[in-house]
């Protein structure tokens, strides 16, 4: 019985092993067949693309997408050298000045001399000439200018001498990868456009021509979209954006570290200036309020006199009566 049981166990193990081997063999064959289809089908489809397009199959969309993906990959691997990189450089400045009008006029001339232009400008606030006694009333200007990128550094150097620059910011964006990708996609789309035009010229029936024409319109729309993006990048790369905030001030903010003596002198002078401004402002306030003071002073004086005069008259009468009574009493005693 033991031997029979052992033989049975051995037979079961052998049967399971055979089944497993058969399953692995089938799986391997299936995987090989799958891999073969996976590697060869795209190549066959790509080879048959032109023929399918001409006979009405039109595998255009998928082929265009594959071409775009390939061009993107190639553009990433073929980046231009450092000198040909596409950089967008922008700057922003904060400038203080005591001569607001002169600075604005000089700034406009300097922008033009560097080949740039003012894209937008705004002004606000009041001039010191109208409120010289108050340090809180002054003018602001915001200028958004476009300067040729190769002249940006020279323009910023000139700005350092035109006013008191309290803040300067520079930024650089590298858009080389995006720019190259746009160029590659345009190349692919233009190639597809030429192919579609040739196919449409040799179309054998109206249905085929309409199908090709529909895709051609889509391609042309994509080309126009990418060309618009490219023009935008060209503008941003060629001309740097410079934002300038200008503030009119009485005293310029120190932009370098002061010594103790310089700080003491500046703060003492500022205190004297504040005192003088306060006296002037008080005097102007009194002059401005003088008509009101006269009116209210006259009214107040009239009210006081109307109250005080009757009281004083009554007191005089009372004292006169008391004096008379005292004199009469003195005569009677004699």
Q: DSSP string spanning 171-212?
A: EEEE-HHHHHHHHHHHHHHHHHHHHHHHHHHT--SHHHHHHH
Q: For residue 246, which phi and psi values (nearest 5 degrees)? A: -115, 135
Edge-to-edge strand list for the sheet holding 117-125: 117-125, 139-148, 239-248, 87-97, 164-174
Beta bridge partners of 223: none
Beta-carbon count within 10 A of 163 CB: 23
pLDDT of residue 203: 79
- 290 sits in the region (left: phi over 0; alpha: psi -120 to 50; else beta) called alpha
- C-alpha–C-alpha distance, residues 111 and 151, integer Å: 10
pLDDT of residue 181: 95
Residue pLDDT tens, the chain, 334 long? 444 544 455 554 555 555 444 444 443 443 333 333 333 333 333 333 334 333 333 334 434 444 444 444 454 455 556 668 999 999 999 999 988 999 999 999 999 999 999 999 999 877 655 444 444 457 899 999 999 999 999 999 999 889 899 999 999 999 999 999 999 999 999 999 999 999 888 878 888 888 888 999 999 999 999 999 999 999 999 999 999 999 998 878 776 665 777 667 767 776 776 677 777 778 888 888 888 888 888 888 888 888 888 888 888 888 888 887 777 777 777 6
- C-alpha–C-alpha distance, residues 314 and 321, integer Å: 11
pTM, to two decimals: 0.53
pLDDT of residue 170: 94
Give the CA dihedral 166, 167, 168, 169, nearest 10 degrees.
Answer: 180
The residues, any chain, with a CB within 8 Å of residue 38's CB and separated by 6 or more, are none
Tell how far CA 95 is from the center of its chain. 19
Spell out a b/e string for 38-69, using b for 16 or more CB atoms within 10 Å of the CB, else e: eeeeeeeeeeebeeebbeeebbbeebbebbbe
pLDDT of residue 16: 52
- C-alpha–C-alpha distance, residues 64 and 188, integer Å: 8
* Residue (of 161, 152, 154) closest to 95 by Cα position: 161
User: What residue spans define the domains of the chain?
Assistant: 86-173+240-248
Q: For residue 259, which phi and psi values (nearest 5 degrees)? A: -80, 170
The residues, any chain, with a CB within 8 Å of residue 85's CB and separated by 6 or more, are 174, 176
Is residue 266 within 8 A of residue 146, CB to CB? The reply is: no
Is residue 71 within 8 A of residue 188, CB to CB? The reply is: yes
For domain 86-173+240-248, the question of CATH label 3.30.70 is answered with yes
- C-alpha–C-alpha distance, residues 142 and 123, integer Å: 7
pLDDT of residue 182: 95
Is residue 135 within 8 A of residue 126, CB to CB? The reply is: no
Residue 23, H or E segment: helix 2-47
- C-alpha–C-alpha distance, residues 23 and 108, integer Å: 84
The residues, any chain, with a CB within 8 Å of residue 166's CB and separated by 6 or more, are 94, 95, 96, 253, 255
- C-alpha–C-alpha distance, residues 247 and 235, integer Å: 29
* Helices within the chain (DSSP H only): 2-47, 49-54, 60-77, 100-113, 152-162, 176-201, 206-238, 260-333
Beta bridge partners of 247: 96, 140
pLDDT of residue 82: 60
**Cα four-point dihedral sign 35, 38, 39, 40:** positive
């Amino acid at each position: 019985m033991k031997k029979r049981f052992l033989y049975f166990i051995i037979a079961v193990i052998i049967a399971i092993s055979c089944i497993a081997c058969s399953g692995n063999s089938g799986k391997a064959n299936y995987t090989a067949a799958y891999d073969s289809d996976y590697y060869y089908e795209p190549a066959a489809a790509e080879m048959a693309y032109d023929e399918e397009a001409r006979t009405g199959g039109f595998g255009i969309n998928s082929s265009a997408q594959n071409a775009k993906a390939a061009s993107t990959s190639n553009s990433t691997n073929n980046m231009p050298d450092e000198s040909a990189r596409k950089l967008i450089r922008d700057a922003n400045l904060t400038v203080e000045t005591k001569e607001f009008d002169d600075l604005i006029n000089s700034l406009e001339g300097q922008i033009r001399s560097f080949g740039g232009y003012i894209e937008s400008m705004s002004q606000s606030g009041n001039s010191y000439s109208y409120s010289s006694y108050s340090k809180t009333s002054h003018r602001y200007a915001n200028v958004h200018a476009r300067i040729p990128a190769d002249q940006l550094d020279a323009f910023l150097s000139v700005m350092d001498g035109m006013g008191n620059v309290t803040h300067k910011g520079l930024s650089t964006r590298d858009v080389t990868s995006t720019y190259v990708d746009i160029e590659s996609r345009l190349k692919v789309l233009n190639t597809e456009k030429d192919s579609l035009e040739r196919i449409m010229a040799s179309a054998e029936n109206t249905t085929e021509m309409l199908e090709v024409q529909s895709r051609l319109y889509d391609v042309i729309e994509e080309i126009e979209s990418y060309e618009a993006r490219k023009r935008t990048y060209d503008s941003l790369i060629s001309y740097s954006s410079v934002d300038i905030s200008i503030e009119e001030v009485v005293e310029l903010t120190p932009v370098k570290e002061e010594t103790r003596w310089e700080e003491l002198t500046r703060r003492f002078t500022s205190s004297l200036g504040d005192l003088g401004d306060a006296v002037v402002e008080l005097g102007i306030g009194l002059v401005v309020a003088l008509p009101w003071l006269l009116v209210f002073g006259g009214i107040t004086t009239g009210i006081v006199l109307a109250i005080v005069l009757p009281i004083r008259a009554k007191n005089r009468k009372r004292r006169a009566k008391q004096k008379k009574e005292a004199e009469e009493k003195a005569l009677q005693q004699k």
